[in-house]
């Protein structure tokens, strides 16, 4: 893929996706669908041979047409189904609209507040990524705000049953570095209703990037009495991907496969493609070496000392 701003990236119609400074993957590209430098980040939408249409922000694939359902179902449904009756939901980020799509798949939802800092990303996704959002932005239950999520939560007094934090990784020069800190999670906690639960995109959980995942989980544990990490494999990321469900009262990991399947049948408009009771149980089960790293991590990300993805 030709990129005039970076001639070394994507030579001969390949997209160079840096997983970390020591590991990268290449995607053969059919065409560049859209490209723009917004106020906050580099936005690209590309059509790849292996994964179809992909949203790329600051050079990193955020989701792909072929497997986005794995990521978005894992992010949304454990928290939504763990809550007894989620009616008012907050989403931070989630520009593709796929997180919103999955939230709206729950019958109990009557209002969703979605906050994203970058209007140009959402405008592009609304236009080019209909397969992702499937018209969810036009649902009458949705209230969309273009501002910083932390600013919005500081200014509102509203309480939410479920909060979904679907942000880009905390790159040092990116827009989200102060949305992975103890102070931000304390603000989230204040905005949760009684028996509320938050789901946080927590980064790669494989051995190549384990440090950042364990710091995010440990930071959430410093704020919430219950913070349950879990993971799924996302093929377009070539990695296990981590999430955390945190609450003052709800332990999402304790729901049995049978109970998850019962709640899916009773409460969801469409059955998920990837997520069910058995996959729920599996996602909260970590191998021994990761359990040890999670238990040994002491670092807490703060505003004064945030964690950055290299």
Provide the CATH number for the domain around residue 265: 3.40.50.150
Do 106 and 22 fall within a single domain?
Answer: no
Number of structural domains found in the chain: 2
pLDDT of residue 8: 45
One domain for residues 87 and 193: yes
Give the residue from 238, 249, 200 showing the smallest Cα distance to 82: 249
Contacts of residue 117, Cβ cutoff 8 Å, sequence gap at least 6 = 40, 146, 147, 148, 149, 175
* The predicted structure's pLDDT at residue 23: 81
Q: How far apart are CA 96 and CA 183, in angstroms?
A: 27
| In a shared domain, residues 111 and 210 | yes
Out of 23, 40, 64, pick the residue that ends a domain: 64
Would residue 244 count as lying in a domain? Answer: yes
Do 188 and 257 lie in one domain? The reply is yes
How far apart are the C-alpha atoms of 236 and 62, rounded to whole Å? Answer: 9
Q: Show the domain range for 90.
A: 68-296
CATH number at residue 48: 2.30.140.10
Look at residue 87 and tell me if it is in a domain: yes
Taking only the tens place, the pLDDT of each residue in 191-228 is 999 899 999 999 999 877 789 999 999 999 999 999 99
Same-domain check for residues 45 and 107: no
Low pLDDT (below 50) residues in the chain? 1-2, 4, 7-10
Q: 243 and 228 in contact (C-beta within 8 Å)?
A: no
Global pTM exceeds 0.75: yes
Residues 113, 248 within the same domain: yes
Last residue of a domain, one of 20, 36, 64: 64
239 as an active site residue: the answer is: no
The answer as to whether 6 is a domain residue is: no
Do 126 and 58 share a structural domain?
A: no
Q: Is 127 within a domain?
A: yes
What's residue 7's pLDDT? 43
Q: What's the confidence (pLDDT) of residue 4?
A: 43
Among candidate residues 47, 64, 81, the one where a domain is terminated:
64
Q: Is residue 303 part of a domain?
A: no
Question: Rounded to whole angstroms, how far apart are CA atoms 145 and 91?
Answer: 10
Question: Are both 60 and 208 inside the same structural domain?
Answer: no
Q: What is the pLDDT of residue 174?
A: 60
Q: Are residues 124 and 214 located together in one domain of the fold?
A: yes
**Are both 264 and 154 inside the same structural domain?**
yes
Instruction: Determine, yes or no, domain membership for 306.
Output: no
Residue 126 falls inside a structural domain: yes
Looking at the structure, tell me whether residues 190 and 170 fall in a common domain: yes
**Exposure on the CB side of residue 246, measured as CA atoms within 13 A:** 27
Q: Which of 17, 148, 166, 239 is catalytic?
A: 166
Question: Do the strands 160-166 and 88-93 form a parallel or antiparallel pair, or are they unpaired?
Answer: parallel
pLDDT on residue 164:
98
Residue 46 lies in a domain: yes
Q: Are residues 87 and 129 in the same domain?
A: yes
């Amino acid at each position: 893929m030709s990129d005039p701003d970076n001639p070394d990236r994507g030579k001969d119609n390949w997209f160079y996706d840096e997983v970390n400074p020591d590991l990268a993957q290449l995607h053969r590209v059919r065409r560049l669908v859209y490209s723009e430098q917004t106020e906050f980040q580099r936005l690209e939408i590309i059509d790849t041979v292996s994964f179809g249409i992909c949203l790329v922000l600051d050079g990193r694939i955020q989701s792909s047409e072929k497997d986005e359902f794995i990521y978005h179902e894992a992010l949304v449904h454990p928290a939504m189904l763990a809550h007894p009756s989620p009616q008012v939901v907050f989403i931070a980020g989630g520009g593709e609209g796929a997180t919103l799509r999955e939230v709206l798949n729950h019958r109990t939802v009557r209002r969703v507040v979605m906050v994203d800092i970058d209007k140009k990303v959402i405008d592009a996704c609304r236009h080019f990524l209909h397969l992702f959002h499937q018209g969810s932005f036009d649902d009458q239950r949705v209230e969309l705000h273009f501002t910083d999520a932390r600013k919005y939560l500081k200014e509102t007094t509203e309480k939410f049953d479920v909060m979904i934090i679907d942000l880009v990784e905390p790159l040092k020069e990116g827009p989200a570095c102060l949305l992975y800190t103890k102070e931000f999670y304390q603000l989230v906690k204040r905005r949760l209703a009684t028996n509320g639960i938050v789901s946080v995109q927590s980064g790669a959980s494989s051995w190549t990037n384990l440090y950042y995942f364990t710091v995010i989980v440990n930071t959430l544990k410093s704020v919430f009495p219950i913070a349950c990490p879990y993971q799924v494999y996302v093929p377009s990321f070539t990695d296990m991907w981590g999430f955390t469900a945190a609450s003052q009262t709800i332990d999402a990991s304790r729901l049995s496969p049978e109970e998850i399947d019962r709640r899916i049948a009773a409460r969801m408009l469409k059955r998920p493609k990837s997520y069910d009771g058995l996959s729920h149980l599996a996602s909260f089960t970590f191998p021994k070496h990761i359990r040890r790293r999670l238990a040994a991590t002491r670092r807490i990300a703060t505003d004064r000392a945030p964690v950055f993805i290299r």
